[in-house]
A and B are shown apart, each in its own frame.
Chain A
Amino acid sequence: MGILIRALLLLVLTGCSSSPEPKDWLYQQLGGAPGLEQLADGLLREIEQDRQIVHHFKDTDIARFRKLLIEQFCELSGGPCKYSGATMQESHTGFQITEADFDNLVGHLIKVMTEQQVPVAAQNRLLAKLAPMYKDVVYR
């Protein structure tokens, strides 16, 4: 029994110490700069084909939107970038974005990440960072 407990302790301790996660873990998991560009392009393709949400983008400067999206994902994932756009609340006010619109975008993001073979743990990490933005984006 004593040996078992010691072995278990060792396992727990090495398990904790062997993986000090780098600050840019998520950024690397998403494929770094080229990965984020692909992610943004994939997302733009999905939005373009989504009749429910595409109208929100009719006056959007897509090139600028793409740049800001990449910056934001980069900063959120611990990459070497600084998001230079407006706050989520400022940039979504007046658009009347609904819960269904937000759900659709989350669905597109999951689809694109899955297509790009982003591991499930990294997908969930990014979603966890984006989910709290719901209150700043929806019904503004």
Chain B
Amino acid sequence: MIVDDEPNIVLALKYLLEEEGFDVHCYYDGDTAIENVAKVVPDLIILDVMMPGKDGFSVAKYIRNQSSLENTAIIFLTAKGTSQDKIEGYDSGAESYIVKPFDNDEIVAKVHDILGFNM
């Protein structure tokens, strides 16, 4: 599951992950993501921080409070790159934190890594 308000970034990630054979769902703001996450029950969410509606940290906290979603991994993908932001990100329950702009290979590897570990 990809949540980001930048359509072009979502598009790029969708290409990359579908190429790898993943089933990809895309959302463009925090509120719709929360609405749909229980239906989708994704293995992994790539989450932007600054979005309209609920921001990424709130979405992550929401997911961490749902028992049905305890196996969902979270990767933050954001332009906010200070260490304080990273700490807040990990505190809200993320498995990984990637600062934009990202390397395609890195993000694919990270996804494989986390999902492989979980499975």
- Do A and B belong to a common assembly? no
Residues on B lying within 8 angstroms of A by beta carbon are none
